[in-house]
Copies of this chain bind each other. A is one copy, B any other.
């Protein structure tokens, strides 16, 4: 049977329609959702099919996030749309001091089902305040789960698990990947458990550890490298917290070399955490240092020539792969 292909947006919308049908406590709250089915059209079909369960909020990210927390504590399963992930900066107290800590501070009295959906990433010439990848902040915040899908099927499987999960989840989906298509299972019960990485391309010479848009850079790099007989294995982490260290370890035990690739700027990014763990937990397996490829340490500039230069490139990924394989 021919695989059905969907865009990442369509995969998200399908998953939401399935879950909202399954569980009527799920609702969507955010800015400008109803008339255009989300500013990226990511909620296609929801306004028509679930009137009253997708709600346009005023421009009030602080209260919108807090609203998600309050609703999640009182019997609902909110998905909060953050419009642009850059605006999580307007709700860090609600996300990191409230959502992340409530269950713990109150001694486990309550659960907080809450999905914070954040369209992130650069490449749209949207400049410094509409292009960030901020997942590392939340990885450093105990009490939050962090999910970053790269392909449509992952989007469907992971948003469904996130909506069924009883803990707050930060869900980052890359703006530039909404239209990108891929095979997506039709099965309404298809889910991808949080904390499960996927080996998306096998290879014996080195391991690419990546997620989100970084995955697509690695895929291209792996193909070009294959032509030079360097076989890269690609581990798509998919969930950064909880982290599937087991899959990471298995891969590196075979390849003895690793390169972490993400779009966020290198310094203090998630690649730092991963490299720091690997050089301890797999010290004896490493034949080369763990290299990191990410954006250069500046805000995202507007002009295409500048933005392209700042963002990580396939060439840089290939260069890192060559470096760790000493070829």
- B290, A279: Cβ atoms under 8 Å? yes
Question: Does any Cβ of B come within 8 Å of A89's Cβ?
Answer: yes
Are A265 and B140 in contact (CB-based, < 8 A)?
A: yes
Q: Which residues of chain B have C-beta atoms less than 8 A from A290's C-beta? A: 276, 279-280
Q: In the complex, are the beta carbons of B105 and A127 less than 8 A apart? A: yes
> Is the CB–CB distance between B92 and A267 below 8 Å?
no
Decide if A129 is an interface residue (CB 8 Å cutoff).
yes
A97 touches B86 (CB 8 A): yes
CB neighbours of A140 from chain B (8 A): 136-137, 264-265, 267-269
Judge whether A93 is part of the interface by a CB distance below 8 angstroms.
Answer: yes
CA distance A226 to B228 in the complex (A): 52
By the criterion CB–CB under 8 Å, are A104 and B298 in contact?
Answer: yes
Residues of B contacting A105 in the complex (Cβ-Cβ under 8 angstroms):
127-129, 299
Interface size class for chain A?
35 or more
Taking a contact as CB atoms closer than 8 A, the residue among B86, B142, B301 that contacts A297 in the complex is: B142
A240 closest partner in B (C-beta): B268
Name which residue of chain B comes closest to A143, CB basis.
Answer: B299
Given contacts A101-B129, A280-B289, contact A268 B267 (CB under 8 A): no
* Residue of B whose beta carbon sits closest to that of A103: B299
With a CB–CB cut-off of 8 A, which chain B residues contact A101?
A: 128-129, 299
Scoring A residues 89 to 112 as 1 if CB is less than 8 Å from chain B, else 0, what string do you get? 110110011001100110000000
**Distance A268 CA – B270 CA, assembled complex (angstroms):** 7
A94–B280 CA distance with the chains assembled, in angstroms: 37
| Min CB gap A239→B, angstroms | 14
The 5 closest A-B pairs by CB, nearest first: A140-B268, A275-B276, A89-B92, A89-B93, A272-B272
Can you name 15 A-B pairs with beta carbons within 8 Å? A89-B93, A97-B128, A97-B129, A104-B128, A104-B298, A104-B299, A104-B301, A105-B127, A136-B136, A136-B268, A273-B276, A276-B279, A276-B290, A280-B291, A283-B288
Q: Which of A157-206 contact B (CB under 8 A)?
A: none
Instruction: With both chains docked as a complex, state the minimum distance between the C-beta of A123 and any C-beta of chain B, in angstroms.
Output: 17
Q: Judge whether A271 is part of the interface by a CB distance below 8 angstroms.
A: yes
Copies in the complex: 2
With an 8 A cutoff between CB atoms, is A46 at the interface? no
CB closest chain-B residue, reference A104: B299
Give the interface centre of A87, A271, A299 by most chain B CB atoms within 10 Å.
A299
Q: Does A292 count as interface, using CB distance less than 8 angstroms? A: yes
Query: In the complex, what residues of B have CB within 8 A of residue A89's CB?
Result: 92-93, 96-97
User: Of residues 200 to 228 in A, which have CB atoms within 8 Å of B's CB atoms?
Assistant: none
CB of A234 within 8 Å of the partner chain: no
Kindly state whether residue A139 has any CB partner on chain B within 8 Å.
yes
Given the known interface contacts A101-B129, A268-B136, A271-B276, the answer about A289 and B283 at a Cβ–Cβ threshold of 8 Å is yes
> For A268, what are the chain B residues with a Cβ–Cβ distance below 8 Å?
136-137, 139-141, 270, 272-273
With both chains docked as a complex, state the minimum distance between the C-beta of A23 and any C-beta of chain B, in angstroms: 29
CB distance from A110 to the nearest CB of B (A): 15
